[in-house]
Amino acid sequence: MNQVLLIFLPVLFALFVPLLYKTFSRIHTGWFVLLVPLTLAIYYARFIPNITEGPYTSTFYWVKSLDLSVTSYLDGLSLLFSLLITIIGSLVVLYSIFYLDRKKEQLHNFYFYLLMFMTAMLGVVQSDHLISLYLFWELTSISSFLLIGYWYNRDRSRFGALKSMMITVFGGLMMLGGFLLLAQAGGSYSIRELIANGSVIADSPYFIWMIVLILLGAFTKSAQFPFYIWLPDAMEAPTPVSAYLHSATMVKAGIYLVARLTPLFAVSEYWIWLVVLSGLITLFWGSFFAVKQTDLKGILAFSTVSQLGMIMAMLGAAGIAFHVESPQKTIFAFAAYAAIFHLVNHATFKGSLFMVAGIVDHETGTRDIRKLGGLMSLMPISFTIAAIGSLAMAGLPPFNGFLSKELFLTSMLSLKEFSLFNFSTWGPILPWVAFVASIFTFVYCLYFLYYTFMGKGNTSKLPKKPHEAPIGMLISPIILASLVVAIFFIPNVIGKYFIKPAVLAMQPQLYETIDDIPIHVQAWHGWTTELQMTIGIVVIGFLLFITLKKWQPIYRFVSEKWSLNGLYNRLMRFADVDSQKLSNLYMTGSMRHYLMYMFAFMVVAVISTLFMSNGFNYSTANTAEVGIFEIATLIVMIIGTLTVLIARTRLTAIIALGAVGYSVALFFIIFNAPDLALTQLVIETVSVALFLLAFYHLPKMSRHEERMPFKINNFLIALGVGVMVTLVALSAQSQKLLPSISQYYKDTVYTKAGGGNIVNVILVDYRGFDTLFEITVLAIAGMAILGMIKLRRPKKEKKTHETK
C-alpha cells in the first residue's frame, strides 16, 4: 500500500502547488517541489542493498470486480528506473529553480505538470497491471504535451506539443490493443503471471499482432525510426523539461517496456529482428542527421534518438540469449547488461548536456550553433561539463560512455555468430552499421563541443553578453558530470547494485542470483576487436570532423519535402483539409441527397440480406380468394397513385391523394375493419383540407404549374424501395412460423375485458399503454402547431427591431 501511495505522492503534492505559488510568492515554488523527488529518491534508495532478495509488491484494488488494480512491483528493473526518475527529477527541479524566473513564469503550471509527469512515469515503471501501465503511459503523453506547450503563446511550442501528442498517443492506442490481445491470450492482466504463462501466449494465433502492436507503442514513445520526428520538435519545451523528459525518462519508457516484456516475447524471431533492426536504423539515422542540425538542442535531440536506437539494438540482441545453449557463457548475455548500463550512462551525460545547452541559451540568448563559439574562456565550468558529456557520448575514456560503447560493440559483433533466424546471412552487416553510426556519433559530439565553446566565435554579436551561469544552475550538471567520470572508475559497483538486479529481472530464466551473471566490466579488456573498432571510430571520426565544412553540404540534397516531417505534415493536412473536401463531397446540405443515400443504402442492405441469408420465399398457401371488389378498389388506387406522380398541377395531386385515401378506407370496409374505415375517412378528410390550406398559401412568386421532373436516379431508388418492400412483404406472408395471438383476444374479450369490440378493447384495455402515448403525441403535435403559429415574432416588430 505504501509503495502504491508513493507513486501518487507527486501528483497529490501537485494539488498544493498553486496554493504554495500564491501564498509564498517570494520563495521560488521549486524549492517546495524539490522535496518530493528527494523524499522518493531516499525511499527508493533504501531498497538498493536487498533488491535481489525478491520483488517488493503492493497492490491497491481499483475496480476489483473487473480485476483492475494498481500494483506496484519493484524489482531490479523498476527500481533502477524509479531511481533514475527521482534522482534526475531532483536535479532537474533544482536546475529549473534557477532556470525559470520566479516573476516572469507561471511556475504553478510548470511544477504541476512536472509532478504529474513524475507520478505517471513512476507508475509506468512500477505497474504490474497492464491496464494501469497503459493508464500511466497515456498520462506521460498528456503531461509531456502540457510541458512541451508550456510557452503556449509560441507557435512552435504548440506545433511541437501537438505533434508529440499525435504520435505518442497513436502508439499508445496501438499498445493498448496489443495489451488486450496479450491479456486475452494469457488470461491475466498481471505481467508477472503472463511471463510465467509465456508458452501459452506464444501459441496464440495473435502472437505476431501483439508483438507488432506493443512495439509500435514502445517505438513511438522511445522515438525510434520512423517515429522519432516528434522529439526534435519537442525541443521547444523549457530546457529542464527536455533534460528530464526527452533525454532521461519519458523516452526511455519504450525501452523499459521492451526490457520488461523481453522474457515474454523474445522467443519470437520477429521480436528480435524488429527490435534489433529498428534500433540500428534509428542509431544510424539519428547520428547521421545530428550533424545537419544548427540548433544546440536539435543536435541533442537527434543524438538522443540515436542513443535510444543503440539501447534498443542491444535489447534486441539480449533477446537472443533465450535461444542459445548455456547462454550464461556466451556473449549474448552481455547485451542485456550493456543495454541497461548504457541506459544509466546516457541518462547521466545527456542530462548534463541538456542542462549545459540550457545554460548557454540562458546566458547568451541564442541556441544557434552558427552564432556561438569561443565561449570556453567565458564559461569555463560549463565548458568542462560539456566536454565531459560529449566525450562520454562519443565513447572515449575516461568516461562511462566508453565502457558501454565497448559492450555495445561486443554485443553487435556477437550477432554475426548467431545462426538461427537468418542471422548468419545478414548478421555481419549489423556491426558495420553500428560502426558507421558510431563514427557519426563521434563527429556530432565534436561538432557540438567545438562550435559552441571553441573556435573563434564572435561573442560581441550575441544577444546577451555571455558570462558564467550562477552556481545554482551549475550544481545539477556538475553532479551529473561527476557521475559520468565516477562510473568509469567504479563500473562494477554500479553493476552490482543497479545493473545486475535489472538484468536479473529482464532475463529471469537465465540466472538464479546476481552472482550468476558473469560480467566484470573493466576499462582495459585486452587488445580486442572492439578496441580496434574504437580506435577506428576516433581516427575516421576526427578526419571527418576536420573536413566537416567540405561534406556538410550533402545534407542540402535531402529535401525537406521528402523527409519524414514532410510526410507527417502531409498526413496532417490530409486529415484536416482533404478529409474536409471528402466530407463536403457528400455532405451537400441537400435533404434530397441524404434521403437518396438512406434509401439506396436500405435497398442494398435489405435485398442483399434477404438473398444472402436465403430468406426469400414465395407461396400462395395461406392466401385468400381475390374478389371483384378488391380488384376494382385496387385499380382506383393505382390510378390515384399514378395521377399523383404525373399530375401537372399540385391541386390534382392533392385530390388524387384524397382518392387514394378514400380507397384505402374502402379496403378497410372490404376487409372488415369498420373502426379503421371510420377513422380513415375522417382523417383523410381533415388531411386533405390541411393540404389544400397549405396549397393555397404557397408563395406566388415562384409558383410553377408544372409536373414533377423525371430523374433517373430517383426513379431507380424509388423502384428499388418498392421492390424491396414487396419482396419483404411476400416473404413475410409466405412463411408464418407461429400462430397468431388473436385467438386469445377473441376468447377473453367479453369474459375478462367486459367488451364486445375487440379493436376498441385492445386500444383501451389490453394495450392501452400505446394509446396513452399516442394521445400524448397528438397533444404534442397540437401544442407544436399552436406554438409555431402563435409564438412568431410579428413582422412589424421585427422590422422596427432591425431598424434600431
Partner 1 sequence: MKLNNVILKTTTQVVFFMIFLFSIHIFFAGHFSPGGGFVGGLLTASALVLLLLTYDLKTVQQLLPINYTTMTAIGLLLSLGTAATSAFLGDAFFKHYFDHFTLPLFGDTELHTAMLFDLGVYLVVVGVTMIIIQSIGGDE
Residues that bind partner 1 (CB under 8 A): 674-675, 678-679, 682-683, 685-686, 690, 693, 753-757, 759-761, 763-765, 768-769, 771-772, 775-776, 778-779, 781-783, 785-786, 789-790
Question: Between residues 428 and 782, which has the closer beta carbon with respect to partner 1?
Answer: 782
* Contacts of 492 by beta carbon, 8 Å cutoff, 6+ apart: 520, 521, 522
Shortest Å distance, C-beta 764 to partner 1? 4
Q: Residue 295 in 3-state DSSP?
A: strand
Question: Between residues 406 and 684, which has the closer beta carbon with respect to partner 1?
Answer: 684
Shortest Å distance, C-beta 8 to partner 1? 50
Task: Count CB neighbours of 376 within 10 A.
Answer: 19
* Contacts of 141 by beta carbon, 8 Å cutoff, 6+ apart: 164, 165, 168, 169, 172, 221
Do residues 355 and 391 make contact, with C-beta atoms less than 8 angstroms apart?
no
**Can you tell me which residue has the cell 430523374?**
711
Residue 801 corresponds to which cell in the numbers above?
427591431
Shortest Å distance, C-beta 689 to partner 1? 8
Shortest Å distance, C-beta 654 to partner 1? 16
Do residues 359 and 382 make contact, with C-beta atoms less than 8 angstroms apart?
yes
Nearest-angstrom CA–CA distance, 135 and 128 = 12
Helices H, strands E: what count in the chain?
Answer: 37, 2
Do residues 503 and 76 make contact, with C-beta atoms less than 8 angstroms apart?
yes
Q: Residue 752 in 3-state DSSP?
A: coil
Question: Between residues 269 and 765, which has the closer beta carbon with respect to partner 1?
Answer: 765
Shortest Å distance, C-beta 595 to partner 1? 27
Question: Between residues 461 and 790, which has the closer beta carbon with respect to partner 1?
Answer: 790
Residue type, 641: T
Question: Between residues 726 and 776, which has the closer beta carbon with respect to partner 1?
Answer: 776
Question: Between residues 556 and 697, which has the closer beta carbon with respect to partner 1?
Answer: 697
Shortest Å distance, C-beta 662 to partner 1? 16
Q: Residue 702 in 3-state DSSP?
A: coil
Shortest Å distance, C-beta 794 to partner 1? 9
Nearest-angstrom CA–CA distance, 484 and 395 = 11
Question: Between residues 564 and 682, which has the closer beta carbon with respect to partner 1?
Answer: 682
Question: Between residues 433 and 753, which has the closer beta carbon with respect to partner 1?
Answer: 753
* Contacts of 344 by beta carbon, 8 Å cutoff, 6+ apart: 80, 84, 400, 487, 494, 498, 499
Shortest Å distance, C-beta 698 to partner 1? 15
Do residues 286 and 155 make contact, with C-beta atoms less than 8 angstroms apart?
no
Do residues 140 and 117 make contact, with C-beta atoms less than 8 angstroms apart?
yes
Question: Between residues 570 and 798, which has the closer beta carbon with respect to partner 1?
Answer: 798
Shortest Å distance, C-beta 732 to partner 1? 28
Shortest Å distance, C-beta 703 to partner 1? 20
Nearest-angstrom CA–CA distance, 81 and 260 = 11
Question: Between residues 485 and 759, which has the closer beta carbon with respect to partner 1?
Answer: 759
Which has the closest alpha carbon to 687: 665, 709, 706, 671?
Answer: 665
Question: Between residues 417 and 765, which has the closer beta carbon with respect to partner 1?
Answer: 765
Shortest Å distance, C-beta 154 to partner 1? 60
Q: Alpha helix locations (H) across 462-528?
A: 471-489, 491-494, 500-506
How open is the CA angle 582-583-584, to the nearest 5 degrees?
A: 90
Q: Residue 59 in 3-state DSSP?
A: strand
**Can you tell me which residue has the cell 544577444?**
463
Shortest Å distance, C-beta 667 to partner 1? 16
Question: Between residues 577 and 686, which has the closer beta carbon with respect to partner 1?
Answer: 686
Nearest-angstrom CA–CA distance, 136 and 127 = 9
**Can you tell me which residue has the cell 393505382?**
638
Nearest-angstrom CA–CA distance, 739 and 156 = 72
